[in-house]
């Protein structure tokens, strides 16, 4: 059941990116590339040769593999069906630090190409991920107070209907704060635009400018998997525990599909903010999360 759900998650990941893009196409009045575009892209990229930039070293060669491996390792311990591979013993901190380890390698891989655009992307990625970290940990603190333990599966054991009724304000605040984290970590509008074609305005894409072939396939797949993983985290935080693993699994994936849809709508109706505004938005998210903790503790 555990392994099955991880494999299912791994297979479904590119689909959700398709949902986002299809939603955006609908809002833009286009026919869109179809739900399965990313699968085809991945197959195409795997068959291509791997170009490597001149000054690069083994760091560049392994960076995308490490980055993907970190997301896979995080997905493997995620409690997809209410409990993961030993996720009752995995501290929630580890989940986010493993993702950070993968990001570290993407960043130094980008710096290894030795070019201004990739350096710029790497610099921005580190800036934003540094600032988002406090928000993540306040949200984790909130979940610990709510659920009473530090392991991943217990902080994701969901919110009962009773708790929803009693502290809906705090829950909504945390949802918004973590949704901001989700958008930033996945480099979506309003923090980053995955479709921009200008190197100067890129963050995540800029780090991949010189990545090609199977490495690019790894990078795109890692991005899709991370998108699904954090969306699932957001969903699992809030849905009530049903007790049935299959129902839980279905509701997590349904929730992820819904979050993808919402993200598509958000991306269609909002513009990207200026880089200098991002720290302010993150500070806002931090304040919301702290306020939620305050409400939960005091009311």
Partner 1 sequence: MISLETFFSIPILVVSVAAAVHATAYIHGEARRHLVRFWGFFPATVASMLAVVHVGGKLQFLLAWEAMGLASAGLVAFESKEKSVKKATWIYLLACHAGACALMLTGVFQMRPDAWIAAFAFAVVGFGLKIGFPPFHAWLPEAHPAAPAPASAIMSGAMIPLGFFGLLKFFPIARLSSFDAQVYGWTLLALGAIGAVGGILFSLPQSNLKRLLAFSSVENMGVVSMGLGLGAVLYARGDFTPPALLAIAGALVHILNHAFLKGALFLGAGSVLRQTGTLDQDRLGGLLRRMPFTGSLFTVNAFALAGLPPLNGFMGELAIYVSAFLAINTGDPVLASAGFLVALALALTGGLAATAYAKSIGCAFLGESRSREAADAAETPKRMYFAQIFLSLFSLAMIPGSVYFIHKFTGGFKTEIFIMTAMVGFTFVAVVVSLLLLRRFICPRGKMKPRLPVWDCGYDAPTSRMAYTATAFTQPLVDLFRPILKSRRHVQPFKGDPAAPSGAAIATETDDFALGGLWRPLFSRAARLFQRVHLLQSGSLHLYILIILIAVLALLVAALVS
Q: Least separation, in Å, of the C-beta of 68 and partner 1?
A: 6
Residue 52 as a binder of partner 1 (CB under 8 A): the answer is yes
Residue with tokens 């979506």: 188
Q: Least separation, in Å, of the C-beta of 246 and partner 1?
A: 25
Running DSSP on this structure, what letter comes out for residue 115? -
Annotate each residue in 5-44 with x if it binds partner 1 (CB under 8 A) or - if it does not, as one string. ----------------------------------------
Using alpha carbons only, what angle is made at residue 18 by residues 136 and 34, rounded to the nearest 5 degrees? 170
3-state secondary structure of 10: helix
Residues facing residue 151 across a β-bridge = 91
Annotate each residue in 60-79 with x if it binds partner 1 (CB under 8 A) or - if it does not, as one string. x-x--xx-xxx-xx--xx--
Name which of 139 and 183 has its Cβ closer to partner 1.
139
Tell me the C-alpha distance between 282 and 288, whole Å. 10
CB 103 within 8 A of CB 67: yes
Name which of 19 and 202 has its Cβ closer to partner 1.
202
Q: Least separation, in Å, of the C-beta of 279 and partner 1?
A: 6
At residue 48, φ and ψ (nearest 5 deg) are -85, 165
Name residues contacting partner 1, limited to 238-277 (CB under 8 A). 275
**Selected binder of partner 1 within 28, 34, 55, 254 (CB under 8 A):** 55
Two structure tokens written together for 66:
């490490």
49: left (phi over 0), alpha (psi -120 to 50) or beta: beta
**Selected binder of partner 1 within 27, 34, 57, 164 (CB under 8 A):** 57
Name which of 13 and 113 has its Cβ closer to partner 1.
113
Name residues contacting partner 1, limited to 84-143 (CB under 8 A). 86, 89-91, 93-94, 97-98, 100-101, 103-104, 107-108, 110-120, 122-124, 126-127, 129-134, 136-138, 140-141
Using alpha carbons only, what angle is made at residue 261 by residues 28 and 135, rounded to the nearest 5 degrees? 115
Q: Least separation, in Å, of the C-beta of 183 and partner 1?
A: 18
Interface with partner 1: number of residues (CB under 8 A): 81
CB 176 within 8 A of CB 221: no
């Amino acid at each position: 059941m555990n392994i099955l759900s991880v494999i299912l998650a791994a297979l479904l990941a590119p689909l959700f990116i398709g949902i986002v893009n299809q939603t955006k196409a609908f809002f833009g009045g286009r026919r869109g590339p179809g739900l399965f575009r990313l699968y085809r892209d991945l197959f195409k990229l795997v068959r291509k040769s791997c170009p490597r930039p001149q000054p690069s070293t083994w760091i560049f060669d392994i960076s995308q593999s490490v980055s993907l491996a970190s997301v896979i390792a995080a997905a493997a311990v995620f409690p997809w069906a209410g409990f993961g591979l030993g996720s009752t013993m995995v501290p929630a901190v580890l989940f986010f630090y493993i993702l950070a380890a993968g990001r570290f390698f993407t960043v130094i891989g980008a710096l290894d190409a030795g070019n201004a655009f990739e350096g710029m992307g790497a610099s921005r990625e580190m800036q934003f991920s540094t600032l988002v970290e406090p928000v993540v940990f306040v949200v984790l603190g909130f979940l610990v107070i709510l659920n009473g333990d530090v392991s991943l599966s217990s902080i994701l054991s969901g919110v009962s209907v009773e708790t929803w009724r009693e502290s809906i304000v705090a829950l909504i605040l945390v949802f918004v704060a973590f949704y901001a984290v989700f958008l930033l970590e996945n480099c979506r509008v309003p923090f980053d635009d995955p479709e921009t074609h200008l190197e100067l305005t890129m963050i995540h894409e800029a780090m991949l400018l010189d990545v090609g072939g199977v490495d690019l396939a790894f990078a795109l797949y890692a991005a899709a998997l991370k998108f699904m993983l954090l969306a699932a985290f957001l969903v699992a935080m809030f849905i009530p525990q049903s007790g049935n693993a299959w129902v839980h699994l279905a509701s997590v994936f349904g929730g992820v599909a819904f979050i993808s849809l919402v993200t598509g709508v958000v991306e269609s109706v909002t513009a990207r903010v200026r880089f200098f505004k991002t720290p302010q938005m993150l500070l806002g998210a931090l304040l919301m999360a702290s306020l939620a903790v305050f409400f939960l503790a005091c009311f």
